[in-house]
Structure 1
């Protein structure tokens, strides 16, 4: 009898979750439309309106992702909702990212992190400093080191049509909370949470080169899942992007340069 009652209550909740998800998708779609509208508007109030809808979007995502566990696995229509959504292989960590459209050639991004601890979902913002334009996350890679779960992310920040910053960043879940500052990368200056590099395609070393190499073809950060290796382009002292790679491979407890 107890099992029957439990099943009844579970089934009773399913339509509610479905309605919640549908409501969320509709609201996200509305905000995506409003942000697109005001990003192209020439009206005096356009910037304030765009900022307002970006804030509403962040509050909405935080609210739903912290209260509805179905959002962690739901397959959103990314174009419709105006979000980039990445999910870890284990299904316990997700990143929602969006371009605020408040910049020009410099692009501004905001992110919300969602994670599962013991069956309960939580969410938090990326807490990007005001002077930082944020980043667009490109990948989440699951890692297990010494029996502990980590997530290696790669991202890109856009400073202009020619200026980019790529970064690998480590996350973990510790003591029931997401730790966005987990350290797993061993460098000459210590154990780090992030490793990154800047690309300036407007520099003469990249703009005026005569070797037939297109810097854009070699400037991206890559992660080799099979060999657990972060691949970073070798950049000369003058900023010139080369075909060569710097490699940080997971060896024992840390990523180390090989």
Structure 2
């Protein structure tokens, strides 16, 4: 029954998007349409403990996700829009320096104890835009993208996307993953880091939030264009964040750990 309900909601969303396309095509109209639905997501999220609010929240999230995917796929100019009103409503948008890759992340408000995010990954190919929708079921690791670093080497452009997750009041995580647009397709498994035992497409760590409760600045993964290095905070075996960092330097093909 759940599968049938989801299929029906998706079909309704697609029909709605197709009907909207007949009258909505300007940047202002697209943003206004998305904002109207997104405000409902936030409203029902703030009242989800009330009668039937959770059902309405799920429905509005589905409609918003499919509308956003539709607009960002159909209208190439959306990859350059600031979507200021959506950002004010707490959508997180990160864009690559070359304007070829962008992420849209929003809290579905369906999480219990932690955050639950859905994401749209938008990229440009031959003047057109394509979009991928990533919707994870509540309770599964969910993350948002606050930053994208654009790195070019050997005539190949990699998008180093930083992502955050908060699983509970005490547990959080952060990572960086390499994306590349190859043969018209977004590849999210680009070999990036070489270790003594494997070649990885991402770096990721989890830590105890209480260990940074009194820190003035939030620990973060960073990439330095000048030195071609990635720095990740060091977490000890107990999950406690330290003020030390691990450095990975680009050696011509991969990033490799710098010996301390």
Q: Please, what TM-score do these two structures have when normalized by structure 1? A: 0.83
Q: 1:130-179: per-residue Cα shift (whole Å, max 9, x none)?
A: 65232111111111122111100111110112211110101001111111
Determine if the alignment matches structure 1 residue 186 to structure 2 residue 218.
no
Within 5 A, what are the aligned runs for 1:1-258? 19-41=25-47, 42-77=49-84, 78-80=86-88, 82-126=90-134, 128=136, 132-202=140-210, 206=211, 214=214, 217=217, 219-258=219-258
* Structure 1: runs of 5 or more not aligned: 1-15, 208-212
- Aligned CA RMSD, in angstroms, stands at 2.3
Structure 2's unaligned 5+ residue stretches are 1-21
Number of aligned residue pairs: 235
What secondary structure sits across from 1:226 in the alignment? coil
Paired with 2:218 and 2:66, the residues of 1 have a C-alpha distance of 38
Query: In structure 2, do the counterparts of structure 1 residues 96 and 253 end up closer, same or farther at CA, with 3 Å as the change threshold?
Result: same
CA distance in 2 between counterparts of 1:240 and 1:161 reads 14
Aligned 8 A contact 2:106 2:119 in 1 = yes
Cα distance change, pair 107–238 in 1 and its aligned pair in 2 (3 A): same
Structure 1 pair 151/51, CA: closer, same or farther in 2 (3 Å)? same
Q: So what's the TM-score if we normalise by structure 2?
A: 0.83
Q: Within 1, Cα distance between the matches of 2:209 and 2:88?
A: 32
Q: Deviation at 1:81?
A: 5.7
CA–CA distance in structure 1, aligned partners of residues 251 and 185 of structure 2? 26
Check whether the contact 1:107–1:133 (CA below 8 A) recurs between aligned residues: no
1:37 positional shift: 1.4
Q: Distance in 1 between matches of 2:75 and 2:229?
A: 35
User: Do the aligned partners of 2:111 and 2:138 also contact (CA within 8 Å) in 1?
Assistant: no
